[in-house]
C-alpha cells in the first residue's frame, strides 16, 4: 500500500474519544431578558410541542393556523392575519 493510500485510510477512520459533559450557564443579564429562562422551561415547552403540536406555546390554546388538505391533496394553510408592511 502506498504512503498516500495509507494516509487517506487513516484520515478517514479517526475516532473521537472526547465526550464533553460540561454545561455553561449564561450570564444573569442574558437570562433576565430571555423568553425561555432555563433548560427546564425549554424542555417543558419542547415536550408540550411534541405532545400537542397544535397548541400555541404562548397562550396554551390551539393555534389558529391549521393545515388542511385540498381536494387535490395539497396542503393549505389558513391565514393568521399577519399585519401588512
pLDDT number for residue 16: 79
Residue 37 included in any domain: yes
How much is the pTM? Answer: 0.44
Q: How many domains does the chain have?
A: 1
**Domain membership flag for residue 34:** yes
Query: Is 33 among the domain residues?
Result: yes
pLDDT of residue 79: 53
72, three cell numbers: 387535490
Question: What is the chain's pLDDT, residue by residue, as a tens digit (85 residues)?
Answer: 677 777 776 666 777 788 889 988 899 999 999 999 999 999 999 999 999 988 876 665 665 555 555 566 555 555 556 666 5
Residue 36 lies in a domain: yes
Query: Which burial class, exposed, middle or buried, applies to 36 when counting CB atoms under 10 A from its CB (0-12, 13-18, 19+)?
Result: middle
Determine, yes or no, domain membership for 43.
yes
Q: Is residue 84 part of a domain?
A: no
Whether 40 is in a domain gets the answer: yes
CA distances for 71 relative to 15, 37, 45, 74, 76, angstroms = 52, 44, 34, 8, 10
Provide the 10 A C-beta neighbour count for residue 45: 13
Per-residue pLDDT of 44-55, as tens digits, reads 999 999 999 888
Whether 59 is covered by a domain: the verdict is: no
Residues of the domain holding 40? 26-54
Q: Could you give the C-alpha distances from 51 to 18, 38, 45, 48, in angstroms and in order? A: 34, 20, 10, 5
Amino acid at each position: 500500500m502506498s504512503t498516500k493510500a495509507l494516509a487517506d485510510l487513516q484520515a478517514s477512520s479517526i475516532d473521537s474519544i472526547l465526550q464533553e459533559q460540561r454545561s455553561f450557564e449564561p450570564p444573569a443579564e442574558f437570562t433576565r431578558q430571555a423568553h425561555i429562562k432555563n433548560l427546564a422551561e425549554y424542555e417543558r415547552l419542547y415536550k408540550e410541542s411534541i405532545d400537542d403540536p397544535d397548541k400555541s406555546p404562548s397562550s396554551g390554546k390551539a393555534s389558529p393556523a391549521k393545515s388542511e388538505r385540498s381536494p387535490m391533496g395539497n396542503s393549505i394553510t389558513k391565514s393568521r392575519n399577519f399585519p401588512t408592511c
